[in-house]
Amino acid sequence: MAQVEKFSYDNAIVRKFTYATIVFGVVGILVGLIAALQLVFPSLNLGIPETTFGRIRPLHTNAAIFAFVGNGIFMGVYYSLQRLLKTRMYSKFLSEFHFWGWQAIILAAAITLPLGITSAKEYAELEWPIDIAIALVWVAFGVNMFGTILKRREQHLYVAIWFYIATWVTVTVLHIGNNLELPVSLWKSYPVFAGVQDALIQWWYGHNAVAFFLTTPYLGLMYYYLPKAANRPVYSYKLSIIHFWALIFIYIWAGPHHLLYTSLPDWAQSLGTVFSIMLIAPSWGGMLNGLLTLRGAWDRVRQDPVLKFMVVAVTAYGMATFEGPMLSIKSVNAISHYTDWTIGHVHIGTLGWNGFLTFGILYWLLPRLFNTKLHSQKLANAHFWIGTLGILFYAIPLYWAGWTQSLMWKQFTPDGFLQYGNFLETVTQIIPMYALRALGGTLYVVGYFVMIYNLVKTIQAGSFIGDEEAEAPPASTWAVHTGKEHWHRWIERRPVQMLIAATIAILIGGIVEIFPMAMIDDQVPKIESVTPYTPLELEGRDIYIREGCLGCHSQMVRPFRSETERYGEYSKSGEFIYDRPFLWGSKRTGPDLHRVGGKYPDSWHYNHMLDPETTSPGSIMPPYPWLLRDELNTGNTAAKIRALQTLGTPYPEGYDQIAVDDLQKQAKIVADNLRKDGIDDDKLEEKEIVALIAYLQKLGTDIKPAPQAGN
């Protein structure tokens, strides 16, 4: 074994991603804090469209997931991959392209989302040009990673790398699958699938964005950084194998648990439930392997802030992955869904698991990149306690708010009336909880700034090593394995086979669920009375999407007495066949809107948008005066009609030519209605509000029974 090769690790790219992680962490959390405060003080949007809740909520989620955690993944992977494979990154160019490409995408997101350019799909809001850019950069990352794997000096792939591989292939599949859309213009597209199918694909994506962007890559990071920081052997190799394969195979099936009691067929809902329950053990396998690796090092956990952060992170992961399956049981979901319980749940995962693991890694990594010691253990400990308190103050009030509101929604009086018939009562009740949650978020931000100070001081004290020298025996010295060994060692020597096996594992669940839904027509029973949107309604719908109304309003009445009593007949899958994209939403900060059509006069909506407090005193919905002021852009209406025709919406041949005329005719009717009620504006029919009103008045009316009385 005298043969040893000298080479160096590329730390410069790690440093770049590290800085990006730190910066976008601040951005993501601060935008979240602003959104949280807006739920207490709606006027904090300052009356500006771009800073209104509906538009900055996707900015927050995208910044936290793809900018903060995304850069965190790349930071962790670029550092660990080189060392686990005993080689330098495959291509300097691809590393740089990956880094700058990803930051450019983040910049594009930060510009387009506040402008209301969105495809309305949660965690996949970015429009098609950016989607293509994401695909390119992601492929560059994959090529760079696989190039590195192929020129490795380490014969076997360590468990962290299995997770990196599964992450890469699954995110690729999900991103492409959920962004199949037909462009109308540079910044507008309609998805290929409509209604129920679109919903199923979106939550197949959405759930697995959590699984394969927030979970599997971070498990990979845990498997590298936790044993390194604790200086302990990994508890069980066998557990790594079983929980890895079980996790990636089962995770992909669980998406429909986001659609329990919706119009999705029952068979698909139940698959979501049972696979979520089966997910407990594989998820806990990761937690156990993390926590049990610390056996014999618990005395150090008391001292070392890095280990403290990691312990809380892994524990939060265990809590969230137990709670998730519980929330997937239909009777629990009937209580939790659409409430803040869900928000509390995901933030245990993001603030606890992703946040704290990132902090632990940062405190461990930066001193090593800069060949120095952490500036202050004391400050790191302070950060740990402030952050932990922040998580508690964030989550507990939201759990409380979720339970309170859900119980209020469902409460009937003995004579059969809703106890809280006015939705607003159930909102004003929990505003104090929202205030406490914002306090928790503030604590978390304060802790974060303490960390930044500590890390900056560390960086200043050290000197950066751009190329870290290393040496290892070359691949030519690899042993030939013929004797007895664990069966899994075979695939650990074969990255391509591992990639193929992982791909098969993650494709099965998606295929079984999505293909029948997309291919078999009677999965969605047809309703004859359901008609496509008129051009005006369509434009109104696109305004609804632009303003992010779906961030607070669902369009899905579930088959519960408390919902049909409050909103009207429960939603049927056949009602959504022209919905591109579907707009079922996932949270009710305001009431469901699927049956709002015809419930109020046009002028009510006009006044409500001008100032929600005039029609709903105490409402936390912000005013939308710009809808009353801005003129509706009909420049794309014909193109939109053509795109929808291509996708299968049955507008008559050549309808795009007369669509704008139709639009103006309908706008005139709405405007006249408004004038009758004393609303004075001579250009009323040209305003955006008219389109939005037309859309809202259409909602849910296709199957609405005739009014019972009235003359």
Partner 1 sequence: MRNKTLKLIPAALLLLLSSANAWGQAAGEAGATPYFYDNMLSYGMLALAAVVFIATLTALYNLLNIMVKVQQIRIYQEQGIEAYQEEVSKPKESIFQRLYKRMTSVVPVEKEEDILFDHEYDGIRELDNVLPPWWVAMFYVTIAFGVVYYTYYHFTGAGPSSAEEYKMEMERAEKAVQAYLATQANQVDETNVELLTDEQAIAAGKAIYEGKGTCFTCHGMFGEGGIGPNMTDPYWIHGGGIKDLFKTVKYGVPEKGMISWKDQLKPVEMQQVSSYILSLQGTNPPNPKEPQGELYQQVDNAAPADTSSTEVSEQKGDAIGMSE
Residues 257-296 that bind partner 1 (CB under 8 A): 261, 266-267, 269-271, 273-275, 277-278, 280-282, 284-285, 288, 292, 295-296
Applying CB under 8 A, among 422, 428, 460, 657 the residue interacting with partner 1 is 422
Q: How far is the CB of 15 from partner 1 (least distance, A)?
A: 19
| Residue 702 interacting with partner 1 (CB under 8 A) | no
520: which residues sit within 8 A by CB, 6+ positions away? none
| Residue 544 interacting with partner 1 (CB under 8 A) | no
Nearest residue (CB) to partner 1, 345 versus 566: 566
Q: How far is the CB of 266 from partner 1 (least distance, A)?
A: 5
Residue with tokens 């296709």: 702
- Nearest in space to 455 (alpha carbons), one of 333, 363, 566, 550: 363
- Nearest in space to 505 (alpha carbons), one of 247, 255, 269: 247
| Residue 417 interacting with partner 1 (CB under 8 A) | yes
| Residue 154 interacting with partner 1 (CB under 8 A) | yes
Choices 65-73, 307-315, 421-429, 525-533; region in contact with partner 1 by CB under 8 A: 421-429
| Residue 499 interacting with partner 1 (CB under 8 A) | no
Nearest residue (CB) to partner 1, 280 versus 638: 280
Nearest residue (CB) to partner 1, 158 versus 341: 158
Residues β-bridged to residue 188? 185
The count of residues interacting with partner 1 (CB under 8 A) is 76
Binding characters for partner 1, 84-123, by CB under 8 A (x = yes): x-x-------------------------------------
Per the structure block, which two tokens stand in for 630? 């801005």
Nearest residue (CB) to partner 1, 615 versus 636: 615
How many whole angstroms from its chain centre is CA 343? 11
Q: What angle do CA 527, 584, 513 make, to 5 degrees?
A: 75
| Residue 228 interacting with partner 1 (CB under 8 A) | yes
Span 333-362, contacts to partner 1 by CB under 8 A: none
Nearest residue (CB) to partner 1, 28 versus 597: 597
Nearest residue (CB) to partner 1, 191 versus 265: 265
List of long-range contacts for 145-151, beta carbons under 8 Å, 24+ apart: 145/77, 145/81, 145/90, 146/90, 146/495, 146/499, 147/90, 147/91, 147/94, 148/81, 148/82, 148/85, 148/87, 148/88, 148/89, 148/90, 149/81, 149/85, 149/495, 150/90, 150/495, 151/87, 151/90
How many whole angstroms from its chain centre is CA 32? 13
| Residue 522 interacting with partner 1 (CB under 8 A) | no
Q: How far apart are CA 28 and CA 25, in angstroms?
A: 5
3-class SS of residue 304: coil
Nearest residue (CB) to partner 1, 457 versus 675: 675
| Residue 703 interacting with partner 1 (CB under 8 A) | no
Could you tell me how many residues make up the chain? 711
Strands 181-185 and 188-191 come out as antiparallel
Q: How far apart are CA 508 and CA 706, in angstroms?
A: 45
Choices 40-48, 138-146, 535-543, 612-620; region in contact with partner 1 by CB under 8 A: 612-620
In terms of Cβ atoms closer than 10 Å to its own Cβ (0-12, 13-18, 19+), residue 679 is middle
Applying CB under 8 A, among 151, 186, 421, 490 the residue interacting with partner 1 is 421
Applying CB under 8 A, among 202, 321, 342, 607 the residue interacting with partner 1 is 607
Q: How far is the CB of 509 from partner 1 (least distance, A)?
A: 13
Nearest residue (CB) to partner 1, 378 versus 561: 561
Going from the C-alpha of 435 to that of each of 23, 406, 551, the distances in angstroms are 26, 19, 19
Q: How far apart are CA 115 and CA 660, in angstroms?
A: 24
Span 635-694, contacts to partner 1 by CB under 8 A: 677-678
| Residue 368 interacting with partner 1 (CB under 8 A) | no
Per the structure block, which two tokens stand in for 30? 């601060």
Q: How far is the CB of 578 from partner 1 (least distance, A)?
A: 23
| Residue 419 interacting with partner 1 (CB under 8 A) | no
Q: How far is the CB of 263 from partner 1 (least distance, A)?
A: 9
| Residue 481 interacting with partner 1 (CB under 8 A) | no
| Residue 239 interacting with partner 1 (CB under 8 A) | yes
Choices 50-58, 80-88, 304-312, 652-660; region in contact with partner 1 by CB under 8 A: 80-88
Nearest residue (CB) to partner 1, 5 versus 565: 565
Is 565 within 8 Å of 413 (Cβ atoms)?
no
Is 441 within 8 Å of 350 (Cβ atoms)?
no
Applying CB under 8 A, among 3, 46, 302, 416 the residue interacting with partner 1 is 416
- Nearest in space to 640 (alpha carbons), one of 549, 531, 542, 530: 542
Applying CB under 8 A, among 303, 413, 529, 657 the residue interacting with partner 1 is 413
397: which residues sit within 8 A by CB, 6+ positions away? 433, 434, 436, 437, 440
| Residue 527 interacting with partner 1 (CB under 8 A) | no
Strands 467-472 and 5-10 come out as antiparallel
Applying CB under 8 A, among 61, 202, 240, 586 the residue interacting with partner 1 is 240
Q: How far is the CB of 560 from partner 1 (least distance, A)?
A: 7
Q: How far is the CB of 135 from partner 1 (least distance, A)?
A: 31
Nearest residue (CB) to partner 1, 86 versus 345: 86
| Residue 322 interacting with partner 1 (CB under 8 A) | no
3-class SS of residue 115: coil
Q: How far apart are CA 247 and CA 283, in angstroms?
A: 6
